[in-house]
Amino acid sequence: MFLEKMLQSQGFGARKHCQQLIKNGAVEIDGVVVLNPKEKLKIEGLEFQVYGEKYTYREKVYIALNKPKGYECSHQATHHFSVFDLFDDILLNRGIQCVGRLDQDTTGLLLLTDDGQFLQALTHPKKHVPKVYKMMTVDEITDEQVQQLEAGVELRNETGIFAATNVTRLSANELQMTVHQGVYHQVKRMLAAVGNKVESLHRQQIGKFDLENLAEGEWIFLTEEQIQRAKQRDEI
Ligand code: URA
């Protein structure tokens, strides 16, 4: 691939802008400034620098963010920050999108990607990738509520029954459960349907990919193995 095309594919702007970066001597490969925009490159595993900043060539990007409170999953956030404020222009230029949504007041695992197929695979209603949520509730969680959540509840304006699996009371007001769909405000509505109320909500896991100890506001690029884990549809 030509150097100028490679830079463009990685989010460094229009072809003309990339040519200019190269001609300005901003781009280094293996410690050598490359001034030829048409330099032919092997892109596999390619590492390069732009103005001294290190980058790795990625055909597509897969990002796991620990979303903080107060961030919306939309580009034009109205009342809060946008999760896209947490990323630099290089990544934004690639057109990364959220894989599903979290409410502004929900924390935890949010995936972002510029791979449309991956996005489809994880958000398609028929694919049922399980997601693990932890929550604090306003009222103490009763045995009956746990049973109702496992048996399934109806949600207004939605078809079908919404059941959770692995519903586990972690303490009197703290619950963990796995859900298999992804309708609007699903967890909050399920808790309301059994007569309780979510006070705070956190997503811990998608498929078999666990957020582990990523700090709030931090993000990582997923490895191939982590991408496969996030797609896992087996019961978790
Ligand atoms: N369910 C909700 O109610 N809110 C979220 O943010 C995610 C799942």
Domains of the chain: 3-56 (3.10.290.10), 62-125+208-231 (3.30.70.580), 130-206 (3.30.70.1560)
Shortest-distance atom of ligand 1 to CA 182: 8
Q: Which residue carries 């582990």 as its tokens?
A: 212
| Interval between CA 162 and ligand 1 midpoint (Å) | 13
C-beta 191 within 6 A of ligand 1: no
Question: Ligand 1 pocket: which of 158, 186, 194, 211 to mutate (most atoms <8 Å of CB)?
Answer: 186
pLDDT at position 90: 96
Q: Which of 65, 133, 204 to mutate to test the pocket of ligand 1 (most atoms within 8 A of CB)?
A: 133
pLDDT at 128: 81
Q: How far is residue 234's CA from residue 216's CA, in Å, rounded to a whole number? A: 27
Nearest 5 degrees, angle CA 236-CA 181-CA 136? 70
pLDDT of residue 127: 75
Per annotation, catalytic residue among 85, 88, 103, 210: 103
Q: Which residues make beta-bridge pairs with 134?
A: 176, 202
> Per-residue pLDDT for the chain (236 aa), expressed as one digit of tens each?
999 999 999 999 999 999 999 999 999 999 999 999 999 999 999 999 999 999 999 999 999 999 999 999 999 888 999 999 999 999 999 999 999 999 999 999 999 999 999 999 998 877 789 999 999 999 999 999 999 999 999 999 999 999 999 999 999 999 999 999 999 999 999 999 999 999 999 999 999 999 988 999 999 999 999 999 999 987 76
Taking the CA atoms of residue 114, residue 119, residue 121 and residue 124 in that order, the dihedral angle to the nearest 10 degrees is -160
Alpha carbon distance, N-terminus to C-terminus of the chain: 41
State residue 19's pLDDT score.
Answer: 98
Predicted pLDDT at 41: 97
Let me know if 88 is a catalytic residue.
Answer: no
- Residue 109 phi, psi dihedral angles, 5° rounding: -70, 115
Q: Given the structure tokens 């990007």, which residue do they identify? A: 61
pLDDT at res. 22: 98
CA-CA distances (angstroms) from residue 189 to 14, 146, 182, 234? 44, 14, 12, 24
